Structure 1
Amino acid sequence: MNLEHNFTGLGEAFFSKTLIKPLLEQRLVEFNQSVAAFLSIDIKSPTTKSILSGEQAVLNSLSMVYAGHQFGGFSPQLGDGRGVLLGELRGQDGLLYDLHMKGAGPTPYSRRADGRAVLRSCIREYLASEAMQALSIPSSRALALYDSREAVYRETPEPGAMLLRTAQGHIRFGHFEYFFYQGKQEELDALIQYCLEYYYPACLEAESPLESMLIEVVKRTARMIAKWQAVGFQHGVMNTDNFSFTGETIDYGPYGFMEDYQPDWICNHSDHEGRYAFSRQPGIGLWNLNCLMRCFSNHLTRDQLVAILQTYEPELQTHYDELMLAKMGLGDVNDLHVLLPKLFTILLAEKMDYTLFFRLLSRIGENDFSCVLDEVIDRARMSEWLALYQAARSKVVVAWADTSDLMLQTNPKFILRNYLAYEVTQAAEQGDYLPFRRLLNVLSHPFDEHESSDVLAQRAPDWAQSLEVSCSS
């Protein structure tokens, strides 16, 4: 394992050296072989195994410092309160990827917290990141899950755990905010150059490398959020310190995959004002990017920064339209803009499951809408919409059956429903990881039928309606 330490070259203004503190009687209970193969990691090597678990110290491991806007208010100094960056590995694509341990113990940025993670949150992140990967949404990936016999205290004592995850980068919008608002121009310049060299090297050839890089950051962020909206994913805590400069979904906490269609759904029980509600995510993405752009006000003019931000909305809308056209098997964006608002009004009134509806839509016959109509109360209104949909879809040159096959590869059968995460966590806390692995399998291949696991595609039962997730998740 050829571990590199490029981030340390920026200097100690960017981090504090921190070692992983292994948990009491910790065990490696899950290892992601596909990620390991991509990063050329041999878990059978005793040395590699001990490095990844923290049992063998990595002298250049560190915790990052950054700032961030949290629920709209600025916090001038945050940082990895429970995370340790071991270093970077070169992937099969030639790019560098971070190895980052969650729940590694106290760091200088823990703010009197214990720096630990609980098994519940580590399982939720493992499942979510692999589900997002399978849905083609840029995301951090889980590499290894460790459980232990050490108790971690939240509302009640819970089993402690650690999650080793990878991402192209863990540099956040908050990194730039930290140095900008502290007036550390030299460090800010160094960070800009680092990101150009390691994340956006093609921009170095542009007339204005920084401007070119920021446009790409805006567009990556827009496309990421468009994908969230298309699949019904809600992040839950869209603070600027949780937004990746590389356009990846990171920091899975009180996230959720929407079940019944609710545009103003709030998955985070701690978000009392609904700042990060599902329908507000595109706007918050732009708000966060605006915070980021302020950090370059000494490098670019206001007009340049405004022009960069103006690329966000068309990029998000265009990509969202492309995704929804594929979900609905349509070819004309004008038809989409007519049909989609009407459909969302019906789904809201019917309390229709978002994922199940689009899966059913993929299965309707050219003249047989029964599989959808059997799921609604107001059949007349849905029939009227389906007639409009049939007329729009008939414009597509591809045969109806072939379009349906394409839709089945776009509309997942399985999503990570909150109650499923709860059930597998309950089993894992008793030492049974079979439900976790069964769920992980279908989430890793969400478009396949997995007929023996049909129960995992069902709507949440009544008892699960009261389940909540919060920032402690």
Structure 2
Amino acid sequence: MNLKHHFASLGEAFSSKTLVQPLLEQRLVEFNQSLASFLSIDIKSTETKRILSGEDALPHSLSMVYAGHQFGGFSPQLGDGRGVLLGEVRGQDGLLYDLHMKGAGPTPYSRRGDGRAVLRSCIREYLASEAMTALSIPSSRALALYDSREAVYRETPEAGAMLLRVAQGHIRFGHFEYFFYQGKQAELDQLIEYCLTHYYPECLAAESPLESMLIEVVKRTARIMAKWQSVGFQHGVMNTDNFSFTGETIDYGPYGFMEDYEPDWVCNHSDHEGRYAFSRQPGVGLWNLNCLMRCFSKHLERDQLIAILQCYEPELQSHYDVLMMSKMGLDSAQDVYALLPSLLSILASEKMDYNVFFRLLSRLEQGVYTPILDEVVDREKMSVWLERYEAVRVKSVHAWSQVNASMLTVNPKFILRNYLAHEAILSAERGDYLPFRRLLHVLTHPFDEHPESDSLAQRSPEWGRSLEVSCSS
């Protein structure tokens, strides 16, 4: 395994040397072979196994320092409190990817914490990151999962675990906030140059490389917000230290995939004020970008920064329009505007399962509304909407069956319902990883039928709807 250490070359102001501390009787229980092949990592190699597990110390492994706005309040120094950046490896696409171990033990930024992760949170992140990737949403990936016999104390003792994560980059908005508010201009300039060189090299040829890079960051953030909204995903902790500068979904904590359509749904039990509610996510994305742009107030004029931020809304709207056109089988954004608001109103009043509805819509036959009508109370209201929808669809230049087939490739049959993750976790805690692997398989192929796993596509049972997730892991 050919590890690079470009971030370590930035110097001590950016990180602290930190070693992975293996857990008691640690075991490798899951390994992402397809991702490993893409990264040219041979898990059968004894040397590779020892490096990835932390048994062999890496001279350049480190934990990053950064700041962040957390639930609206600024924390001037945060950092990798339980994460260690092992280094970077080159993928088959020629790009470098970070290897980052979660739950690796205490770091200088643990803030009196133990630096550990529990099996529960590692399984949830493994499932979510791979599910998001299968839904074509930029995300960190899961490469390896380790469990152990070491007890980690949260509300109660839990099994300690580590998760080896892969991402194009782990630099967050909070990295820039840290150096800006510390008044460390030289380090801020160094970080800007690093990001231009490693993540946005195409911007170096622009008249204003920084301006060009920030426009791309804004657009990537807008697109990821649109993608989250289109599939009903809620991050749960949209702090600036959890927002990726490379436009990836990172730091899966109390996330959720929306089931019954509720615009103001809050998946994080710790978010008492609903700051990061589903409907507020696009606005929070812009708020976080505002925080980021302040960090460049000594590099660019105020009007330039405003102009950069003004790229956000049209990018988000246009990308969301394209996504919803595909989900609904429509030919134009105007058709989406004409049909989507009233549909969402019906879904909200009926508390209908968001993803189940779109999967049923993908199979809708002309004039045959029964499969959808059987899911609602107000059949007349839904029938009127379906008639309007059909009137628009029949004008398409594409055959009805062809459009349905296309819709089935973007509307998943399987999503990561909270109760499914819960059941997989309970089994894993007993030493049985079969439910986890079975669930992982359908989540990484969410558009396929998998008739043998139909039970994993069903709505949550009543007990599963009351499960809560929080920031306790």
Which residue of 2 is the match for residue 303 of structure 1?
Answer: 303
3-state DSSP of counterpart to 2:280:
helix
Conservation of the 8 A alpha-carbon contact between 1:331 and 1:395: no
Please give the residue correspondences for 1:107-146 in structure 2 after superposition, counting only pairs within 5 Å: 107-146=107-146
Q: Distance in 1 between matches of 2:418 and 2:208?
A: 45
Which residue of 1 is the match for residue 155 of structure 2?
Answer: 155
Letter in 2 for 1:321: D
Using the aligned pairs only, state the percent identity: 79
Give, in angstroms, the shift of residue 280 of structure 1.
Answer: 0.1
Alignment partner of 1:51 is 2:54 = no
Which residue of 2 is the match for residue 328 of structure 1?
Answer: 328
Give, in angstroms, the shift of residue 463 of structure 1.
Answer: 1.1
Q: Distance in 1 between matches of 2:258 and 2:418?
A: 9
Please give the residue correspondences for 1:140-289 in structure 2 after superposition, counting only pairs within 5 Å: 140-289=140-289
Letter in 1 for 2:229: Q
Give, in angstroms, the shift of residue 44 of structure 1.
Answer: 0.3
Conservation of the 8 A alpha-carbon contact between 1:364 and 1:370: no
Question: Deviations 1:430-452 (Å, cap 9, x if unpaired)?
Answer: 00000000000000000000000
Q: Distance in 1 between matches of 2:292 and 2:351?
A: 37
Give, in angstroms, the shift of residue 465 of structure 1.
Answer: 1.9
Give, in angstroms, the shift of residue 253 of structure 1.
Answer: 0.1
Letter in 1 for 2:427: A
Which residue of 2 is the match for residue 348 of structure 1?
Answer: 348
Q: Distance in 1 between matches of 2:306 and 2:104?
A: 40
Letter in 1 for 2:460: A
Letter in 2 for 1:422: H
Q: Distance in 1 between matches of 2:372 and 2:452?
A: 23
Letter in 1 for 2:214: L
Please give the residue correspondences for 1:83-102 in structure 2 after superposition, counting only pairs within 5 Å: 83-102=83-102
Q: Distance in 2 between matches of 1:418 and 1:342?
A: 28
Please give the residue correspondences for 1:56-75 in structure 2 after superposition, counting only pairs within 5 Å: 56-75=56-75
Q: Distance in 2 between matches of 1:422 and 1:307?
A: 45
Q: Distance in 2 between matches of 1:148 and 1:208?
A: 50
Does 135-144 or 385-394 show the bigger shift? Answer: 385-394
Question: Deviations 1:191-246 (Å, cap 9, x if unpaired)?
Answer: 00000000000000000000000000000000001000000000000000000000
Which residue of 2 is the match for residue 421 of structure 1?
Answer: 421
The count of corresponding residues between Structure 1 and Structure 2 is 473
Give, in angstroms, the shift of residue 344 of structure 1.
Answer: 0.6
Which residue of 2 is the match for residue 451 of structure 1?
Answer: 451
3-state DSSP of counterpart to 1:131:
helix
Conservation of the 8 A alpha-carbon contact between 1:79 and 1:109: yes
Give, in angstroms, the shift of residue 383 of structure 1.
Answer: 0.5
Give, in angstroms, the shift of residue 333 of structure 1.
Answer: 1.2
Give the TM-score taking structure 1 as reference length: 1.00
Give, in angstroms, the shift of residue 391 of structure 1.
Answer: 0.9
Which residue of 2 is the match for residue 20 of structure 1?
Answer: 20
Which residue of 1 is the match for residue 291 of structure 2?
Answer: 291
Alignment partner of 1:430 is 2:453 = no
3-state DSSP of counterpart to 2:78:
strand
Give the TM-score taking structure 2 as reference length: 1.00
Give, in angstroms, the shift of residue 374 of structure 1.
Answer: 1.2
Q: Distance in 2 between matches of 1:24 and 1:148?
A: 6
Letter in 2 for 1:347: L
Which residue of 2 is the match for residue 384 of structure 1?
Answer: 384
Which residue of 1 is the match for residue 464 of structure 2?
Answer: 464
Conservation of the 8 A alpha-carbon contact between 1:144 and 1:163: yes
Which residue of 1 is the match for residue 400 of structure 2?
Answer: 400
Q: Distance in 2 between matches of 1:184 and 1:332?
A: 48
Q: Distance in 2 between matches of 1:464 and 1:312?
A: 36
Give, in angstroms, the shift of residue 396 of structure 1.
Answer: 1.3
Letter in 1 for 2:312: Y
Letter in 1 for 2:93: D
Does 206-215 or 362-371 show the bigger shift? Answer: 362-371
| Runs of 5+ unmatched residues, structure 2 | none
3-state DSSP of counterpart to 1:324:
helix
Question: Deviations 1:440-469 (Å, cap 9, x if unpaired)?
Answer: 000000000000000000000011122100
Give, in angstroms, the shift of residue 394 of structure 1.
Answer: 1.3
3-state DSSP of counterpart to 1:146:
strand
Give, in angstroms, the shift of residue 300 of structure 1.
Answer: 0.2
Give, in angstroms, the shift of residue 263 of structure 1.
Answer: 0.3
Q: Distance in 1 between matches of 2:120 and 2:156?
A: 12
Letter in 1 for 2:190: A
3-state DSSP of counterpart to 1:460:
coil
Indicate the RMSD between aligned Cα atoms, in angstroms.
0.5
Letter in 2 for 1:57: A
Letter in 1 for 2:143: L
Q: Distance in 2 between matches of 1:466 and 1:37?
A: 39
Runs of 4+ with >4 A deviation: none
Conservation of the 8 A alpha-carbon contact between 1:152 and 1:159: yes
Give, in angstroms, the shift of residue 404 of structure 1.
Answer: 0.2
3-state DSSP of counterpart to 2:65:
strand
Q: Distance in 2 between matches of 1:332 and 1:299?
A: 40
Which residue of 2 is the match for residue 366 of structure 1?
Answer: 366
Letter in 1 for 2:258: M
Conservation of the 8 A alpha-carbon contact between 1:119 and 1:158: yes
3-state DSSP of counterpart to 2:304:
helix
| Runs of 5+ unmatched residues, structure 1 | none
Alignment partner of 1:7 is 2:7 = yes
Letter in 2 for 1:231: V
Question: Deviations 1:55-113 (Å, cap 9, x if unpaired)?
Answer: 00001000000000000000000000000000000110111100000000000000000
